[in-house]
């Protein structure tokens, strides 16, 4: 039994490698059949726990820093030696600089932070691995970088713990290429280290590139790999939750391509091709569909990617290519150029949590129309509405002409106006759907069955493509 006066445990709770202190405390509470909040009363807290807006309890990626007395309490509760805890828990010895002189306070003190601010991204631990390691089924959180999310034994992808959605893992049983990609990453990391590059920096550049492609891929008619992989990750069919799944599964779905891109960026042969594309010693703009992009497309299993990159290039990839050329020519841009492995803030991928929040805003109608729909599309819709209004304004119900002729003219004008308005309805639905409003909501609002509306939207997109190219 545990009490505030004498917090000494009778059960041994072993830490997981790279586990957060917050996660360990939760598992200790489960083991003693206690409420986690009640167990945390063993410590005095210097601040409030971080919460998800609108949520209850500390956010899953929360972290706890303890002073020396607080660490002693946790060690006694776990019946685990401090050395074992220090080896397993990255945040174990992070408190002295935070508590200062308070680290010698005899009172057990705790300070709340978030895991990413302390050490690294926090993800859900594989439940099967946790049960095998601890003997108890429990939810746990571990520090895991983006290249450490695959559990090859149980074929699961660990999701970030701060994404505010109901899932902890994605099933990879039908996506062996994702499992294989994590094994390939080990070779990429070794190549980076041999070249004196931090693997995490290479990962960040490659992630920025593939996430920018991911954002454009819906407009790539020849892209077949990502849609199939996304539906596999969604359990067979993303269905009406397509946009939700597209946000949640993005990191897993793009991971094989990320590893391939990272390997290519480290390859001296590929850098030579960038230099050749730039004209060697003769300066010329780097063509985004040159030798480099064509070879990259082949490595990605998409020979057509060079053509797509020419029209829909990744700013992060072009920035890296520019850095390769500047490095080769010895060009220095004081105060601006930060080398090959720097990604500008505006080119860094938007987090899944932010994507889901934006999706919810679109669904709830709290995001503005002008911010979501491109100006050109709004102009086209306005033109259609204006055409319809001009037609309807010509109607003359007091016409003194022959009955048959007048009736024919009135109905013809009405039909043409209605046709223009129907086109505007589909264009508006298409714009909102592209911006993230679910199809079933649009179907209800437009009073058109979802399947028919989807077909109308597809036809509308094809017509625009044929008309504008």
pLDDT at residue 100 tops 80: no
Are the CB atoms for 427 and 381 separated by under 8 Å?
yes
Establish if 129 belongs to a structural domain: yes
Establish if 13 belongs to a structural domain: no
Distance CA(120)–CA(39), nearest Å, equals 26
Is 244 found in the same domain as 203? yes
pLDDT at residue 151 tops 50: yes
pLDDT at residue 128 tops 60: yes
Is 174 found in the same domain as 119? no
pLDDT band at 54 (very low <50, low <70, confident <90, very high): low
197-235: b (≥16 Cβ within 10 Å) or e:
bebeebbbbbbbbbbbbbeebeebeebeebbebbbbbbe
Is 176 found in the same domain as 49? no
pLDDT at residue 447 tops 60: yes
Least confident of 28-37, 100-109, 128-137, 150-159: 100-109
| Residue 1, H or E segment | none
Is 344 found in the same domain as 385? no
Res 341: pLDDT:
93
Q: How much is the average pLDDT of 259-275?
A: 95
Contacts 24+ apart (CB under 8 A), 278-283: 278/321, 278/325, 278/328, 283/329
Establish if 158 belongs to a structural domain: no
Establish if 4 belongs to a structural domain: no
pLDDT band at 29 (very low <50, low <70, confident <90, very high): very high
Is 38 found in the same domain as 132? yes
Least confident of 2-6, 7-11, 46-50, 209-213: 2-6
Mean pLDDT taken over the chain: 86
User: What is each CA distance from 104 to 65, 78, 92, 184, 336, in whole angstroms?
Assistant: 14, 22, 15, 46, 45
Q: Which residue has the higher pLDDT, 33 or 10?
A: 33
pLDDT band at 110 (very low <50, low <70, confident <90, very high): very high
pLDDT tens figures, 191-227:
999 999 999 999 999 999 999 999 888 888 899 999 9
Is 210 found in the same domain as 338? yes
Q: How much is the average pLDDT of 29-40?
A: 91
Burial of 43 (0-12, 13-18, 19+ CB in 10 A): buried
pLDDT band at 141 (very low <50, low <70, confident <90, very high): very high
Establish if 157 belongs to a structural domain: no
pLDDT band at 440 (very low <50, low <70, confident <90, very high): confident
Res 374: pLDDT:
75
Is 458 found in the same domain as 346? no
pLDDT band at 434 (very low <50, low <70, confident <90, very high): confident
Share of the chain above pLDDT 70, in %: 88
Res 406: pLDDT:
83
pLDDT band at 237 (very low <50, low <70, confident <90, very high): confident
Backbone angles phi, psi at 115, to 5 degrees: -55, -50
How many distinct structural domains can be found in the chain? 3
| DSSP output for 268-279 | HHHHHHHHHHTT
Are the CB atoms for 111 and 91 separated by under 8 Å?
no
Distance CA(397)–CA(391), nearest Å, equals 14
Backbone angles phi, psi at 338, to 5 degrees: -120, 20
Res 269: pLDDT:
95
pLDDT at residue 79 tops 50: yes
pLDDT at residue 1 tops 50: no
Establish if 268 belongs to a structural domain: yes
Least Cα distance to 427 among 467, 385, 390 occurs for: 385
Distance CA(56)–CA(40), nearest Å, equals 16
| Residue 210, H or E segment | helix 199-216
Res 3: pLDDT:
47
Q: Which of 324, 353, 382 is a domain's end point? A: 353
Is 311 found in the same domain as 197? yes
Is 292 found in the same domain as 221? yes
Q: How much is the average pLDDT of 217-238?
A: 91
Q: Which residue has the higher pLDDT, 396 or 111?
A: 111
Q: How much is the average pLDDT of 7-24?
A: 88
Distance CA(192)–CA(184), nearest Å, equals 13
The residue assigned the tokens 């997981």 is 16
Q: Which of 353, 378, 401 is a domain's end point? A: 353
Establish if 412 belongs to a structural domain: yes
Is 260 found in the same domain as 210? yes
Is 424 found in the same domain as 302? no
Establish if 364 belongs to a structural domain: no
Res 83: pLDDT:
94
Domain enclosing residue 374, as ranges? 369-468
Is 252 found in the same domain as 198? yes
Q: How much is the average pLDDT of 257-269?
A: 97
Res 394: pLDDT:
85
Res 328: pLDDT:
77
pLDDT tens figures, 321-351:
888 888 877 766 555 557 889 998 889 998 8
């Amino acid at each position: 039994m545990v009490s505030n006066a004498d917090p000494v445990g009778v059960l041994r709770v072993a830490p997981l490698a790279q586990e957060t202190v917050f996660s360990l405390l939760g598992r200790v509470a489960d083991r003693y059949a206690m409420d986690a909040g009640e167990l945390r009363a063993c410590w005095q807290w210097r601040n409030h726990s971080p919460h998800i807006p609108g949520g209850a309890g500390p956010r899953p990626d929360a972290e706890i820093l303890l002073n020396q007395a607080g660490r002693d309490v946790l060690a006694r509760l776990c019946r685990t030696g401090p050395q074992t805890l220090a080896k397993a828990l990255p945040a174990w010895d992070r408190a002295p600089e935070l508590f200062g002189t308070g680290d010698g306070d005899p009172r057990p003190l705790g300070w709340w932070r978030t895991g990413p601010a302390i050490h690294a991204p926090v993800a859900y631990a594989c439940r099967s691995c946790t049960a095998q390691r601890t003997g108890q089924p429990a939810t746990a959180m571990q520090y895991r970088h983006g290249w450490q999310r695959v559990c090859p034994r149980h074929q699961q992808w660990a999701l970030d713990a701060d994404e505010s959605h109901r899932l902890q893992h994605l099933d990879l049983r039908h996506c062996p290429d994702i499992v294989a990609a994590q094994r390939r990453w080990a070779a990429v990391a070794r190549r980076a280290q041999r070249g004196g590059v931090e693997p995490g920096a290479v990962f960040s550049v490659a992630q920025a590139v593939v996430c920018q492609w991911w954002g454009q891929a819906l407009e790539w008619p020849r892209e077949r790999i990502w849609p199939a992989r996304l539906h596999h990750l969604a359990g067979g069919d993303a269905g009406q939750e397509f946009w939700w799944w597209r946000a949640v599964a993005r990191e897993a779905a793009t991971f094989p391509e990320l590893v391939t891109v990272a390997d290519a960026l480290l390859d001296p042969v590929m850098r030579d091709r960038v230099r050749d594309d730039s004209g060697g010693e003769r300066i010329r703009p780097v063509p985004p569909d040159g030798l480099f992009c064509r070879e990259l497309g082949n490595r990605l299993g998409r020979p057509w990617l060079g053509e797509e990159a020419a029209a829909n290039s990744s700013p992060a990839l072009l920035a890296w290519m520019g850095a390769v050329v500047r490095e080769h020519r010895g060009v220095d841009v004081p105060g601006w150029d930060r080398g090959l492995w720097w990604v500008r803030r505006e080119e860094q991928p938007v987090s899944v949590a932010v994507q889901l929040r934006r999706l919810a805003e679109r669904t709830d109608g709290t995001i503005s129309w002008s911010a979501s729909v491109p100006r050109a599309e709004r102009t086209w819709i306005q033109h259609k509405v204006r055409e319809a209004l001009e037609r309807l304004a010509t109607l003359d119900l007091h016409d003194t002409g022959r009955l048959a002729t007048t009736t024919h003219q009135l109905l013809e004008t009405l039909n043409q106006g209605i046709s223009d308005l129907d086109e505007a309805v589909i264009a508006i639905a298409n714009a909102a759907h592209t911006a993230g409003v679910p199809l079933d909501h649009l179907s209800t609002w437009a009073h058109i069955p979802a399947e028919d509306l989807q077909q109308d939207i597809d036809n509308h997109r094809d017509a625009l493509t044929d008309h504008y190219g």
